[in-house]
Amino acid sequence: MKKWFLFAPGPTPVPPEASLAMAMPILHHRTSDFEAIFEEVREGLKYVFQTSKDVIVLASSGTGAMEAAVVNTLSPGDKAVVVRGGKFGERWAEICESYGIVTIPIDVEWGCAVDVDDVKKVLDKHPDAKALLWQASETSTGVKHPTKELAELCKERGILSIVDGITAIGVFDVRTEEWGIDVVVSGSQKAFMLPPGLAFITLSDRAWEATKKSKSPKYYFDLAKELKNQQKNQTAYTPAVSLIIGLRETLRMIKNEGLENVFKRHAILAEASREAMKAIGLELFSKVPSEAVTAVKVPEGIDGGKIPKILRENYGVIIAGGQSQLKGKIFRISHMGYVNKFDMLSVIGAIEGVLKELGYKFELGAAVKKAQEILWR
């Protein structure tokens, strides 16, 4: 019997409450029934994004919202500084370049967080930069960039802070409004515990002002048009109705648990994951680890590609390997969303099992024991 366990950094497991709600007969979106649901969803999103501003819902993956962030606030020829410390940092740069935005990359060694002083220096050299773009959590490396500090720096310099919060919002504390972040994007298949297909984006007043000056072409991702519709609990184009209905359920779950408790849960699961790996002699890849995903170096002498492969094929356990240049060099355990203590014992036990199978020398049980000590501290 193979039973599936999902520990990849998106899609994350979907709670049965949401699956069943989404399996109900489909609603038509131009009805008061849908509007009541969407109104509740919009309020719930503000709570999770920690903002009083509208959070726009798009029918797309997270990348769509990243594109929306760029094409609504910047114009061809504008200069944007991009923190490039992983696959998703690269994506920010690619999007900007696709739309003719002059991109100044800050290349950060994969596995490291950006240094705020380095950013300052680049901004000093480019006083005409209009925006700084980064990842609150860089999913490919499991790194957390210093979002609060960077947002403050942007405010000081009067430039837009544009944050990819796809594996950060609802995972750890990102105070969109209090920290004065101008644009934050996220997606449904991470802490929001839903299948992929919805993306979210919120803008500060300053960012909405910028949308008025933006000359980048756009249609499907035109946020001003969406805002006008969504403030009436409708959308400009047909919304992904079933996912929005599922989102109402998962937002209720987050609200019931309380955002602070959700953050605490993620923090302790992440700590247990890190300490468990260290307890069997493994090294963490991320210098400043995100609570969304733990990236672990594949030990010397082990074929890195085999770890997720055997876990999936023989154990039914899905974790992620490394992407791009990290292929075969790291593996990544996600602990965001619908994950609790007992799930962590499963995934850590599975990793011990596969490492034993691959001939790695360690004391079987040491990782799970370490996790238990932290989880039941």
Site mask, its own copies, residues 78-97, x = CB under 8 A?
Answer: ----------------xx--
Among 14, 160, 201, 254, interactor with its own copies by CB under 8 A: 14
> Taking the complex as a whole, how short is the minimal distance between the CB of residue 104 and its own copies, in angstroms?
19
Nearer to its own copies, 85 or 308 (CB): 308
The least distance separating its own copies from the CB of residue 199, rounded to whole angstroms, comes to 9
| 349 binds its own copies per the rule CB under 8 A | no
Q: Which of 318, 345, 358, 366 binds its own copies (CB under 8 A)?
A: 318
What are the structure tokens assigned to 287, written together? 């210098």
Q: Identify which range of 16-24, 102-110, 122-130, 268-276 contacts its own copies by CB under 8 A.
A: 16-24
CB 340 within 8 A of CB 328: no
Assess contact for 111 and 295: CB atoms under 8 A. Answer: yes
- Token digits of residue 32: 């008061």
- 27 part of the interface to its own copies, by CB under 8 A: yes
**C-alpha pair distances (Å), 292 with each of 149, 178, 337:** 20, 22, 9
Q: Is the peptide bond before 11 cis (omega within 30 degrees of 0)?
A: yes
Listed in sequence order, the DSSP H helices in the chain are: 16-22, 32-49, 62-73, 87-98, 116-125, 147-157, 205-213, 223-230, 241-257, 259-279, 306-310, 341-357, 366-375
What are the beta bridge partners of residue 284?
296
Rounded distance between C-alpha atoms, residue 64 and residue 201, angstroms: 10
Give the nearest distance from C-beta 51 to its own copies in angstroms. Answer: 24
Per-residue exposure over 320-347, b if at least 16 CB sit within 10 Å of its own CB, e if not: bbbbeebeebbbbbbbbbbbeeebbbbb
Q: How far is the CB of 241 from its own copies (least distance, A)?
A: 5
Q: Which of 153, 320, 368, 375 binds its own copies (CB under 8 A)?
A: 320
Sketch the per residue contact string, 218 through 237, with its own copies: x for CB under 8 A, - otherwise. xxxxx-------------xx
Residue 82 β-bridge partners: 105, 133
Specify burial of residue 30 (Cβ count, 10 A radius: 0-12, 13-18, 19+).
exposed
Site for its own copies in 234-273 (CB under 8 A): 236-243
Rounded Cα–Cα distance for residues 10 and 302 (Å): 26
**Contact status: 127 vs its own copies (CB under 8 A):** no
Q: Is 98 a residue that touches its own copies (CB under 8 A)? A: yes
The 8-class DSSP code of residue 27 comes to: P
Candidates 77, 127, 217, 365; binder of its own copies (CB under 8 A) is 217
Q: Determine contact, residues 336/188, Cβ cutoff 8 Å.
A: no
165 touching its own copies, by CB under 8 A? no
Q: Binding to its own copies by residue 336, rule CB under 8 A?
A: no
Kindly state the tokens that stand for 197: 């297909």
For the window 293-312, what string marks contact with its own copies as x by the rule CB under 8 A? -------------------x
Residue range at the interface with its own copies (CB under 8 A); choices 47-55, 216-224, 279-287, 359-367: 216-224
Name which of 193 and 268 has its Cβ closer to its own copies: 193
Check binding of 346 to its own copies (CB under 8 A): no
Q: Considering the rule CB under 8 A, would residue 155 count as an interface residue with its own copies?
A: no
Minimum gap (Å) between residue 98 Cβ and its own copies: 4
Contact positions toward its own copies, by CB under 8 A?
Answer: 4, 6, 8, 10-14, 19-20, 22-31, 59-64, 67, 76, 94-95, 98-100, 187, 189, 195-197, 216-222, 236-243, 312, 318, 320
